């Protein structure tokens, strides 16, 4: 017999893609134009999130026939969240691949550093320090893991409604802080009030689903 919140989503212990930092090839495709290019890429919302800073550079020891680099080099550090001290440094490479586009040109792809599969995104799950593809880290999608669970579905709707109404796109838990979205700059008050109403409706839906689950458990215990 499962406890409160139990369901098939409980069997998935790996993170979802939404819980991971991700690096898209589309976001750094300028580094694939020619060898010798490089720069820094911030993964976080601010430069204070130093663990999200990656230095990317393209290497041309073995360029393609049209002069494109065959691999990218990633360099970054992990730091202590409190002291800011450097904990470790990482320096490794991932292969690149290209496919010809229908209307001309080429589309770049990553080759996963671990399995070598061709992917458009690489992920860095919480507590992990090396980029890898979704399959290697067994990452799931939150929507698929909430299927069949009313509480999780209501929680997801609340988070989406809150992010849409909030100036910082926050996605808090319906039973946690901050509780009240902040109106984005430039948004009409009427529009904000409509979005805010959606937040409260989603919160009520979550309350109803949560209380329903509690009643079911109490009946089983009696």
For residue 13, the model assigns a pLDDT of: 62
**C-beta of residue 79 within 8 angstroms of C-beta of residue 52:** no
For residue 45, the model assigns a pLDDT of: 42
For residue 50, the model assigns a pLDDT of: 40
For residue 60, the model assigns a pLDDT of: 63
Whether residue 147 sits in one domain with residue 198: yes
For residue 7, the model assigns a pLDDT of: 41
pTM for the structure as a whole: 0.54
H or E segment and range at residue 196: helix 189-221
Decide if 192 is inside a domain.
yes
d(CA 31, CA 73): 10
Chunked into runs of 10 residues, the chain (222 residues) has average pLDDT values of 39 64 83 82 50 69 75 81 79 88 83 88 81 81 56 80 85 80 86 87 83 79 73
H or E segment and range at residue 77: strand 71-79
d(CA 41, CA 188): 33
The boundaries of the domain holding residue 25 are 20-124
Decide if 83 is inside a domain.
yes
Q: Which residue has the tokens 């229908």?
A: 102
Structure tokens at 183: 């109106």
Decide if 36 is inside a domain.
yes
For residue 15, the model assigns a pLDDT of: 67
For 112-130, give the DSSP string.
-TTT--EESEEEE-TT--S
Whether residue 152 sits in one domain with residue 113: no
Number of structural domains, the chain?
Answer: 2
Q: Which residues contact 187 (CB under 8 A, 6 or more apart)?
A: none
For residue 200, the model assigns a pLDDT of: 86
Q: Which residue has the tokens 């079911």?
A: 216
Decide if 136 is inside a domain.
no
Whether residue 38 sits in one domain with residue 115: yes
Structure tokens at 139: 């990452």
């Amino acid at each position: 017999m499962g406890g409160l919140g139990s369901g098939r989503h409980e069997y998935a212990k790996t993170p979802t893609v939404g819980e991971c930092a991700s690096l898209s090839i589309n976001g750094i495709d300028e580094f694939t134009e020619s060898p010798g290019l490089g720069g820094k890429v911030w993964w976080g919302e601010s430069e204070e999130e130093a663990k999200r800073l990656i230095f990317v550079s393209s290497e041309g020891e073995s360029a393609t026939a049209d002069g494109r680099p065959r691999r990218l080099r990633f360099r970054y550090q992990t730091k202590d969240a409190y002291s800011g001290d450097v904990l470790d440094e990482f320096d490794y490479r991932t292969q690149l691949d290209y496919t010809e586009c229908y209307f001309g040109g080429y589309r770049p792809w990553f080759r996963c550093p671990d399995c070598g599969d061709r992917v458009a995104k690489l992920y860095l799950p919480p507590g992990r320090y090396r980029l890898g593809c979704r399959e290697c880290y067994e990452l799931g999608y939150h929507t698929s893991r909430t299927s069949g669970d009313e509480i999780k579905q209501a929680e997801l709707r609340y988070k989406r409604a809150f992010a849409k109404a909030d100036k910082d796109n926050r996605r808090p838990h319906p039973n946690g802080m901050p509780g009240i979205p902040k109106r984005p700059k430039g948004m009409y008050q009427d529009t904000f009030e409509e979005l805010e109403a959606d937040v409260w409706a989603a919160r009520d839906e979550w309350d109803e689903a949560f209380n329903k689950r509690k009643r079911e458990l109490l009946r089983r215990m009696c």
